[in-house]
Homo-oligomer: A and B are copies of this chain.
Amino acid sequence: MRGIKVCGTMADKLRTRGYGTNEGGCINLSYEEALYLSERDFGTFSFENLFKEAASKLQDFDIRFFVYRDLRQRGYVVSVEKDRYLARKSYRMHFYPMSENQKFDMDVANSKELPFALAIVDGDGDITYYMVNREEPRGSNYENFTLKEHIIAGSRVFLIDSPEELGTYGKRESKFAYLSNNEARYLTGDEKIKVDESVYEVYADLRNRHLVVKSGFKYGTHFRVYEKSLEEHSRYLVHVLSEPEDLQRLSRAVRVAHGVRKTLLLAKKKDGKVVYLSVRWIRP
């Protein structure tokens, strides 16, 4: 049992403004709701006593209270659900309150109703909001090449002497051309070319979707992805998440993508299919 029971006319008044869950003719307020109301001198609960009780009973109380309070202050009507808030204004969105010390798990995220928002509380109590959604990126690049003799050297593959046309693959210099190991493996299928399998699977899936895929190293991600050719700006930064990622590192990636107006896609193979989730910084 958690929360505060309120009955009578006050319960009716609060219910119409979205507070509490019905319990007979009364309503049950969660701690975040009761504290939010008490902070605004609504009701007769003592802020201090309520605060101390909530702090002692709920381990993540500070996170929940900060997010609830911020959403209310932004004009949302907020219903408290188990591990999330349903917030309504001109639209409805589920917000998951999280601490900056938690991790982002692709499989967990993908099993939820999408889109949803993460509300991440940092050490200063500031909240950063991300919108997470499922994506199906598609491109319109239909190049096709066959490679002749190639030399495997370090982390790439070289072609010496009159290298053929390479299009959006690799790079040509005066006396040689070269391809990344992902590119060469994709074009030749040669399993002697070493790749990180989980990263390569995403590379191949993106190419199969007719997207143009180049290194994302400058942006600190695995790939930058173009829809048609290298003439245009790249549209996506794609990062392969083989295991849950620290939110701090995810924040770094979202910040980079936002700064260069690209969409960050997280990718992971699941049940034989690569799943893509976009993560965008939002101001709710």
Binding site for B on A (CB under 8 A): 38-39, 47-48, 51-52, 54-55, 58-63, 99-101, 120-126, 128, 151-156, 158, 160-161, 171, 173-176, 178, 180-182, 214-215, 217-222, 247-256, 259-260
Whether A217 touches B126, Cβ cut-off 8 Å, given contacts A39-B175, A155-B101, A249-B252, is yes
Partner of A156, one of B123, B181, B249: B123
The complex is assembled from copies of this chain, and their number is: 2
In the complex, are the beta carbons of B59 and A154 less than 8 A apart? yes
Instruction: Supply 12 further A-B pairs (C-beta < 8 A) apart from A122-B218, A125-B171, A221-B248.
Output: A47-B175, A60-B154, A62-B158, A121-B155, A123-B156, A123-B182, A123-B214, A217-B247, A218-B251, A219-B251, A252-B253, A259-B260
Question: What is the bound-complex CA distance between A109 and B122, given in angstroms?
Answer: 30
The CB with the most chain B CB atoms within 10 A, among A174, A250, A253, A256, is that of A256
Query: Which B residues lie within 8 Å of A158 (CB)?
Result: 51, 55, 62
Task: Please name the residue on chain B nearest to A224 by beta carbon.
Answer: B124
Task: Please name the residue on chain B nearest to A256 by beta carbon.
Answer: B255
Question: What is the bound-complex CA distance between A63 and B155, given in angstroms?
Answer: 8
Query: Which B residues lie within 8 Å of A250 (CB)?
Result: 220
Query: Which B residues lie within 8 Å of A125 (CB)?
Result: 156, 171, 178, 180
In the complex, are the beta carbons of B219 and A252 less than 8 A apart? yes
Whether A62 touches B153, Cβ cut-off 8 Å, given contacts A175-B39, A259-B259, is yes
A215 CB to nearest chain B CB (Å): 4
A81 CB to nearest chain B CB (Å): 19
In the complex, are the beta carbons of A217 and B155 less than 8 A apart? no
In the complex, are the beta carbons of B124 and A176 less than 8 A apart? no
Query: Which B residues lie within 8 Å of A59 (CB)?
Result: 154
Question: What is the bound-complex CA distance between A223 and B151, given in angstroms?
Answer: 46
A174 CB to nearest chain B CB (Å): 6
Whether A220 touches B60, Cβ cut-off 8 Å, given contacts A160-B48, A215-B122, A215-B126, is no
In the complex, are the beta carbons of A218 and B253 less than 8 A apart? no
Query: Which B residues lie within 8 Å of A251 (CB)?
Result: 217-220
Partner of A174, one of B39, B52, B60, B153: B39
Query: Which B residues lie within 8 Å of A151 (CB)?
Result: 51-52, 55
